[in-house]
Amino acid sequence: MPIRWGDMDAFGHVNNTVYFRYMEQVRISWFEQVGIAGDNGEGQGFGDRKCVNGVPAVTALPGDIIGRMSVGQPRRSSFETHFELVSRG
């Protein structure tokens, strides 16, 4: 995903709230790929969220974020998702 100018602060760090937007985009892309994206009348969304930052994404534009998602064991009505975001720029 391209890093937009508005995603960063004055020091070139990606803003903390933007990580959730990147994860949302990865999640939506995954839903589309497996055929469970929206429009079927069933609820989809986050329950409990947490983000553990390793090293902040620091980049000079242009730059990209590569997102990877893995899915945990399915439960009755939910499953865990895990994300890895890596900057390339």
Q: Which of 59, 51, 55 is nearest to 12 (CA)?
A: 59
Q: What are the pLDDT digits (tens) for 37-49?
A: 666 555 555 556 6
Q: Which domain holds residue 36?
A: 5-88
Contacts of 41 (CB under 8 A, 6+ apart): none
Q: What are the pLDDT digits (tens) for 2-31?
A: 989 898 888 888 888 888 899 889 988 888
- Residue 70 sits in a domain of what CATH number? 3.10.129.10
pTM (2 d.p.): 0.73
Let me know: does 58 contact 13? Beta carbons within 8 Å. yes
Q: How far apart are CA 10 and CA 26, in angstroms?
A: 26
Q: How far apart are CA 48 and CA 25, in angstroms?
A: 17
Total domains in the chain come to 1
- pLDDT (0 to 100) of residue 56: 63
